[in-house]
């Protein structure tokens, strides 16, 4: 009698409800290192029962110390950003969990395959963007030439700009934007978020000062309710960031609802990350 044919594992995607469970419970196998990352980031596969996926594992032990964030907290902040994204209903951050791995506790996030040719950022000549684009600011384009840095006037980016304002993202670069073949957009690398001081630093300033869309206002109202002391989002964030940081997040949501507008760049902190990509 021949052995039964082995059924290959089913690949799990970001929209699969089982993705977070797979990341949390599956067996991690390191396949390589992502050398472009500023902290230790390992490309892995994760398997559990009949499911598998590619993922990124960032062990706490591989985090570089930062002067303005407590040591060993970046992985928790990445998971906290996922929890806030999930609470918005926009699902802009890939499924992310905090778990033990081959090099100790760390962040584990589903790997996202990007769609080639999706243009979200550009350098253009002139002082004003073309229709369908939003101006970020002037940038050095090499050989002494200055060009206008622009981003797409895209609802997905606009939602991400609101999320960044809520989580106080200090490092929204172009390389952190992952468009996919099914039309979705994901943001990654949220280790420097949730600071109690205003550190918003992003490429997505194109809507600065403009009224927030009704959709965003509705989402912010939902976050305000979820961030009450006994709210579900407060409970999800409590193991990941400090009470002061949760309070600051609540205050940022309230400020956005009070102003009814996208935030504008501050003067005490560089508004645009460098390099921008």
* Whole-model pTM over 0.85: yes
Between 133 and 15, the more confident residue is 133
Number of residues assigned to the chain: 277
239 CB-contact burial (10 Å; exposed 0-12 / middle 13-18 / buried 19+): exposed
Task: State the pLDDT at residue 1.
Answer: 40
Residue 6 has pLDDT above 60, yes or no: no
Helix (H) or strand (E) holding 256: helix 243-259
Residue 19 has pLDDT above 50, yes or no: yes
Among candidate residues 86, 84, 85, 64, the one with its CA nearest the CA of residue 75: 64
Distance between CA atoms of 165 and 258, rounded to whole angstroms? 14
Average pLDDT rounded to a whole number, residues 45-70: 94
Distance between CA atoms of 254 and 180, rounded to whole angstroms? 32
User: pLDDT tier at 10 (50, 70, 90 boundaries)?
Assistant: confident
Residue with token string 């209903």? 89
Task: State the pLDDT at residue 9.
Answer: 67
CA atoms within a 13 Å half-sphere pointing along the CA-CB vector of 136? 27
Locate 207 and state its tokens.
Answer: 């809507």
Helix (H) or strand (E) holding 44: strand 42-48
Q: Which of 10-19, 106-115, 240-249 has the lowest mean pLDDT?
A: 10-19
* Cα–Cα separations (whole angstroms), residue 246 to 81, 194, 215, 228, 254: 12, 8, 23, 10, 13
Distance between CA atoms of 209 and 141, rounded to whole angstroms? 27
What's the pLDDT tens digit per position in 207-233?
Answer: 999 999 999 999 999 999 999 999 999
Residues with Cβ within 8 Å of 70's Cβ and at least 6 positions away in sequence, in order, are none
Distance between CA atoms of 48 and 275, rounded to whole angstroms? 38
* Cα–Cα separations (whole angstroms), residue 128 to 143, 149, 152, 165: 22, 10, 13, 25
Task: State the pLDDT at residue 276.
Answer: 67
Task: State the pLDDT at residue 267.
Answer: 80
Locate 235 and state its tokens.
Answer: 């409970």
Running DSSP on this structure, what letter comes out for residue 130? P
């Amino acid at each position: 009698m021949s052995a039964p044919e082995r059924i290959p594992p089913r690949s799990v995607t970001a929209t699969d409800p089982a993705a977070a469970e797979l990341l949390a419970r599956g067996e991690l196998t390191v396949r390589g290192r992502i050398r472009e990352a500023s902290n230790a980031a390992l490309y892995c596969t994760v398997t559990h029962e009949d499911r598998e996926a590619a993922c990124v594992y960032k062990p706490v032990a591989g985090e570089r110390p930062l002067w303005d964030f407590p040591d060993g907290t970046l992985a928790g902040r990445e998971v906290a950003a996922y929890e806030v994204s999930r609470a918005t209903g926009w699902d802009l951050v890939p499924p992310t969990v905090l778990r033990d791995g081959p090099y100790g506790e760390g962040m584990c996030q589903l790997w996202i395959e990007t769609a080639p040719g999706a243009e979200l950022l550009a350098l253009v000549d002139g002082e004003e963007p073309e229709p369908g684009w939003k101006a970020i600011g002037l940038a050095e384009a090499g050989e002494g030439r200055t060009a206008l840095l622009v981003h797409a006037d895209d609802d997905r980016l606009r939602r991400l700009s609101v999320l960044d304002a809520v989580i106080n993202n200090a490092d929204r670069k172009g390389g952190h934007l992952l468009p996919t073949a099914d039309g979705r957009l994901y943001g990654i690398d949220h280790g420097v978020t949730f600071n109690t001081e205003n550190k918003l630093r992003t490429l997505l300033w194109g809507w600065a000062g403009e009224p927030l869309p009704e959709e965003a206002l509705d989402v912010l109202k939902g976050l305000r309710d979820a961030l009450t002391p006994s709210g579900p989002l407060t409970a999800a964030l409590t193991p990941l960031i400090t009470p002061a940081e949760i309070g600051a997040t609540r205050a940022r949501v309230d400020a956005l609802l009070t102003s009814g507008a996208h935030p504008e760049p501050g003067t005490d902190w560089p508004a645009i990350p460098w390099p921008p990509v």
